[in-house]
């Protein structure tokens, strides 16, 4: 993501946002879903350019998404800040999860 951010000309602040969100979302996949994938896309729309990260796993899913998106909610030993923190760093953020099927998180940051 480092390279992706630099490649499209993100400044240091946006590169850091990208790295922070990516590490939190990747950590969730490793901890709770026993692995998954991250896809990096260079997004372009209406003259804008940005980086989209897509995290997909086939883990247990999240039963209560609304709670999982609140600060301080953790089913593990975490601080419960990964998902809400990543959302705050994003320009666009989406999460879809189906218990027993898996979870998909999309994180989007546009170049300013
Ligand atoms: N990919 C995932 N698959 C299944 N459950 C998940 C996944 N990601 C998050 N969760 C659930 O959502 C909860 C909240 O996630 P979040 O990242 O906000 O906090 P945390 O991982 O518990 O703590 P922190 O990230 O602050 O160390 C987790 O405790 C876990 O129950
Ligand atoms: Mg987490």
DSSP for the chain, please give it: -HHHHHHTT--HHHHHHHHHHHHHHHHHHHHHHS-EEEEEEEEEETTEEEEEEEEEE-S---S-HHHHTSTT--SSSS-S-HHHHHHHH-SEEEEEEETTTEEEEEEEEE--
pLDDT of residue 5 exceeding 90, the answer is: no
| Interval 13-23 mean pLDDT | 96
Using the atom order of ligand 1, give the atom closest to the CA of residue 79: 26
- Give the distance (Å) from ligand 1 centre to CA of residue 106: 15
Q: Which tokens go with 17? A: 């946002």
The pLDDT tens digits for 85-102 are 999 999 999 999 999 999
| Residue-range domains of the chain with CATH | 2-110 (3.30.565.10)
Closest-CA residue, ligand 1 atom 20, reads 80
pLDDT of residue 10 exceeding 80, the answer is: yes
58 lines ligand 1 (CB under 6 A): no
């Amino acid at each position: 993501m480092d390279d992706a951010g630099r490649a499209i000309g993100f400044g240091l602040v946006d590169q850091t946002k990208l790295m922070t969100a990516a590490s939190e979302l990747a950590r969730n996949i490793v901890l709770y879903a026993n692995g998954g994938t991250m896809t990096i896309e260079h997004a372009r729309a209406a003259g804008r350019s940005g980086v989209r990260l897509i995290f997909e796993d086939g883990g247990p899913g999240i039963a209560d998404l609304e709670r999982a998106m609140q600060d301080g909610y953790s089913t593990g030993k975490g601080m419960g800040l990964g998902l809400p923190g990543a959302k705050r760093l994003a320009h666009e953020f989406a999460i879809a999860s189906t218990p027993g099927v898996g979870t998909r998180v999309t994180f989007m940051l546009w170049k300013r």
